[in-house]
Amino acid sequence: MAWALQIRWQWFRKTRIDQPWTDLELPSHPNALALFTIAVTTKVGNGKNTLFWTDRWLFGYSIADLAPLVLAKVPATNRNRRTVADALNNDNWAHDIQGGLCWIGIRELLRLWDCLMGITLTEEEDQHTWRFEASGCYSSKSAYKAYFNGAVSFEPWQRIWKSWAPPKCKMFLWLAVKNRCWTA
């Protein structure tokens, strides 16, 4: 599946929560997930459709950006499933942290705790915004522009295809980078 469709699928999982197919886990390329993570910001309402650890909901940042050492101590199952509503209920997010933290990690934890103390949830639905489009909704065109304007750093060999070289030179360079030269 093309990366634009993978990003679109992630967008539908966030914005069309009433559909039964949004719970399906489809594999996505890490670059598509990285672009989606960078491009979507969330305004939390009731917190039921926003992931606590990975989505960008806390002052435009994710917990991964604000406290990477704390996030490293959270198991992947909790990272990918814990919603903001569930995490803020009785400070359940603190129970996700397993193992010891160094003193820098403790400092990150205390800063995170201070940031979370002022968060209150409302009855409104969470609002997800695609930041590369003026309307705030996902479009393949805006995703394509973000991809080729370098919003996400991709593999170095992918830049070969954006160069002004003739197609046969691009093909040779790509094969050379992949260690697949068709020469004897």
Contact between 115 and 93 under an 8 Å Cβ cutoff? The reply is no
What is the pLDDT, as a whole number, of residue 74? 92
- Spell out the long-range contacts of 69-75 with Cβ–Cβ below 8 A and sequence spacing 24 or more: 69/101, 69/102, 69/104, 69/105, 69/108, 70/97, 70/101, 70/105, 70/108, 70/109, 70/112, 73/97, 73/98, 73/99, 73/100, 73/101, 73/105, 74/98
Distance CA 32, CA 28 (A): 7
* Greater model confidence, 81 or 150: 81
Query: pLDDT-derived band of residue 149, with 50, 70 and 90 as boundaries?
Result: low
Q: How far apart are the first and last CA of the chain?
A: 34
Give the pLDDT confidence of 160-171 residue by residue, as tens digits: 767 778 888 878
| Side chain identity at residue 101, one-letter code | L
Give the pLDDT confidence of 24-71 residue by residue, as tens digits: 777 777 877 787 888 888 888 888 888 888 888 888 888 888 889 999
The pLDDT mean for the chain works out to 81
Contact between 5 and 29 under an 8 Å Cβ cutoff? The reply is no
1 has pLDDT over 60: no
Choose from 38-52, 96-110, 141-155 the range with maximum mean pLDDT. Answer: 96-110
143 has pLDDT over 60: yes
Report residue 182 as tokens.
Answer: 């068709």
